[in-house]
């Protein structure tokens, strides 16, 4: 790390600036902010509030105004306009990391001048980021890449987005010659469990439109996403001594398995792409007496999305007809909807980003999100909110990585958006 710093400092000018955003990101991932939908709290885990308190202090330190941190862990801040009559634009990112992989004691390291070969993340445990399995990494040959030690996720989703926004705001404060309207910054908790917009005050945010910095690889630009729901199925059984279980025992785990295999085999994340939806079993826990299945349901098409939910309910009814009413119970909760219908009437805010990307040498890749962002729900609350790349790859995984040039590029896109908004009338 110290060698890398020396190289950057002697590079001069932009080199120092580059290291600042890298250091900022590395500091951010030192906070454990894994969210947890089982706590029924906001934020759902204490580490998120700890990180939020740090961020709020940092925003004040770099010179932003109206910095607020509410009891639910939501941060808002303002960079006042230095030119009048312009739209108010917002930039949003989330502070939590996904519960799909550990976010505790993250040990990032920088692979300098990546040579295009497999990367040994953890020699002791034999964990390797293989190019055969993750060929996208070959796109970053010759670049400096931040990786994990193979035991945790990295947290680029979405601490890269946070770092890009904060770094861009710091740059604008230091360069008042850059004309801009009023800019609002928002950081949210619990996005990864579908609750990031639950307590977001759109009226208080006060923007004409906004962008989430929560996409993946460099160039990604998204204004349509999955419709999403969570689904929890609880199967009830009866336990007796297995030697005397004939016509008495009801094994809830076997019922849950029976239900799970009735879903279409190929409509799962590992077998779908593009606009194809899926059912995804994300967790199961059971005993003979009781077993729970936790699913997420996804589809870009609203009609197919509703059909998927009805199918889950149908399968539960089918199990109950066989084993008796109340054997299986289901709870489905909608999480967010496809923002496309809310963004299409204001497509100039998407075009503006495409132009900004081209200005900084990034090729725009407009595509649907195979996931969701806070922006999806915020769009339905009156704040059109397309999604821009944060730069990482393999999110939610021990094999997550972040090319440093992608981190820089996303920051530069934010700055270019600000400049272009200042030209609007």
The answer on 369 and 323 residing in a single domain is no
CA dist., res. 226 & res. 196, Å (int):
16
The answer on 193 and 297 residing in a single domain is no
What was the pLDDT predicted at 265?
93
Give the domain-ending residue among 336, 351, 372: 336
Encoded tokens for 103: 């976010």
CA dist., res. 228 & res. 335, Å (int):
5
The answer on 151 and 97 residing in a single domain is yes
Find the catalytic residue in 144, 190, 191, 224. Answer: 191
Looking at residue 73, the DSSP 8-state letter turns out to be: S
CA dist., res. 249 & res. 238, Å (int):
5
* CATH number for 353: 3.40.630.10
Count of domains for the chain: 2
CA dist 23 → 12, 18, 29, 69, 179 (Å): 16, 9, 10, 24, 27
Edge-first strand order for the sheet with 109-111 is 109-111, 145-147, 401-403
The answer on 190 and 109 residing in a single domain is yes
Q: What angle do CA 369, 211, 58 make, to 5 degrees?
A: 120
Encoded tokens for 1: 């790390």
3-class secondary structure, 384:
coil
The answer on 118 and 71 residing in a single domain is yes
Mind listing the pLDDT tens digit of every residue in the chain (425 residues)?
333 332 333 233 344 445 599 999 999 999 999 999 899 999 999 999 999 999 999 999 999 999 999 999 999 999 999 999 999 999 999 999 999 999 999 999 999 999 999 999 999 999 999 999 999 999 999 999 999 999 999 999 999 999 999 999 999 999 999 999 999 999 999 999 889 999 999 999 999 999 999 999 999 999 999 999 999 999 999 999 999 999 999 999 999 999 999 999 999 999 999 999 999 999 999 999 999 999 999 999 999 999 999 999 999 999 999 999 999 999 999 988 999 989 999 999 999 999 999 999 999 999 998 887 788 899 999 999 999 999 999 999 999 999 999 999 999 999 999 999 999 97
* Of 399, 313, 420, 408, residue with least CA distance to 132: 399
* Of 226, 236, 240, residue with least CA distance to 269: 226
| pTM of the full structure | 0.83
Encoded tokens for 256: 């849950």
Encoded tokens for 212: 């989430």
* H or E stretch at 230: strand 227-236
The answer on 206 and 251 residing in a single domain is no
* CATH number for 256: 3.30.70.360
Buried b or exposed e, range 8-28, using 16+ CB within 10 angstroms: beeeeeeeebbbebbebbbeb
Give the domain-ending residue among 282, 305, 336: 336
Give residue 253's domain range.
Answer: 227-336
What was the pLDDT predicted at 194?
83
The answer on 330 and 384 residing in a single domain is no
Active site residue 123: no
CA dist., res. 336 & res. 334, Å (int):
6
The answer on 189 and 57 residing in a single domain is yes
Q: How many CB atoms lie within 10 A of CB 397?
A: 18
Mode of pairing for the β-strands spanning 220-222 and 328-336: unpaired
The answer on 412 and 374 residing in a single domain is yes
Q: How many CA atoms within 13 Å lie on the side-chain side of 404?
A: 25
250 phi/psi in degrees, rounded to 5: -125, 110
Q: How many CB atoms lie within 10 A of CB 32?
A: 19
The answer on 410 and 344 residing in a single domain is yes
Give the domain-ending residue among 310, 336, 362: 336
As a whole number of angstroms, the longest Cα–Cα distance in the chain is 83
Encoded tokens for 135: 């060929």
The answer on 67 and 117 residing in a single domain is yes
The answer on 281 and 370 residing in a single domain is no
Active site residue 198: no
Find the catalytic residue in 96, 222, 224, 400. Answer: 96
């Amino acid at each position: 790390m110290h060698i890398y710093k020396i190289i950057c400092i002697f590079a001069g000018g932009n080199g120092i600036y580059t290291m600042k955003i890298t250091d900022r990101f590395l500091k951010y991932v030192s906070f454990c902010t894994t969210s947890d939908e089982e706590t029924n709290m906001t934020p759902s885990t204490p580490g998120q509030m700890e990180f939020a308190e740090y961020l709020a202090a940092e925003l004040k330190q770099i010179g932003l105004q109206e910095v607020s941190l509410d009891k639910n862990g939501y941060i808002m801040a303002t960079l006042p306009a230095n030119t009048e009559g312009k739209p108010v634009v917002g930039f949003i990112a989330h502070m939590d990391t996904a519960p799909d992989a550990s976010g505790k004691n993250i040990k990032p390291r920088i692979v300098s001048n990546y040579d295009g070969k497999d990367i040994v993340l953890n020699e002791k445990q034999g964990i390797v980021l293989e190019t055969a399995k993750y060929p996208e990494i070959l796109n970053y040959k010759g670049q400096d890449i931040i990786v994990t030690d193979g035991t945790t996720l990295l947290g680029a989703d979405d601490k890269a987005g946070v770092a890009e926004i904060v770094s861009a705001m710091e740059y604008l404060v230091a360069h008042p010659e850059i004309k801009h309207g009023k800019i609002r910054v928002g950081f949210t908790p619990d996005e990864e469990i579908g609750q990031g917009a639950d307590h977001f005050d759109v009226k208080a945010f006060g923007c004409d439109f906004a962008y989430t910095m929560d996409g993946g690889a460099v160039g990604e630009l998204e204004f349509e996403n999955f419709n999403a729901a969570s689904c929890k199925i609880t199967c009830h059984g009866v336990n007796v001594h297995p030697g005397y279980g004939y016509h008495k025992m009801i094994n809830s785990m076997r019922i849950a398995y029976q239900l799970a295999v009735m879903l279409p085999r190929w409509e799962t994340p590992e077998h779908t792409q593009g606009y194809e939806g899926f059912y995804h079993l994300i967790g199961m826990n059971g005993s003979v007496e009781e077993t729970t299945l936790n699913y997420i349901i996804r589809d870009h098409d609203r009609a197919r999305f509703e059909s998927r939910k009805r199918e889950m309910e149908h399968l539960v009814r089918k199990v109950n007809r066989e084993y008796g009413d109340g054997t299986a119970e289901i709870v489905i909760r909608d999480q967010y909807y496809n923002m496309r219908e809310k963004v299409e009437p204001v497509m100039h805010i998407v075009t503006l980003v495409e132009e900004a990307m081209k200005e900084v040498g990034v090729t725009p890749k407009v595509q649907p999100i195979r996931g969701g962002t806070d922006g999806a729900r915020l769009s339905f609350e009156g704040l059109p909110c397309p999604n821009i790349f944060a730069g990482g790859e393999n999110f939610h995984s021990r094999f997550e990585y972040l090319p440093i040039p992608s981190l820089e590029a996303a920051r530069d896109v934010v700055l270019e958006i600000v400049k272009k908004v200042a030209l609007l009338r």
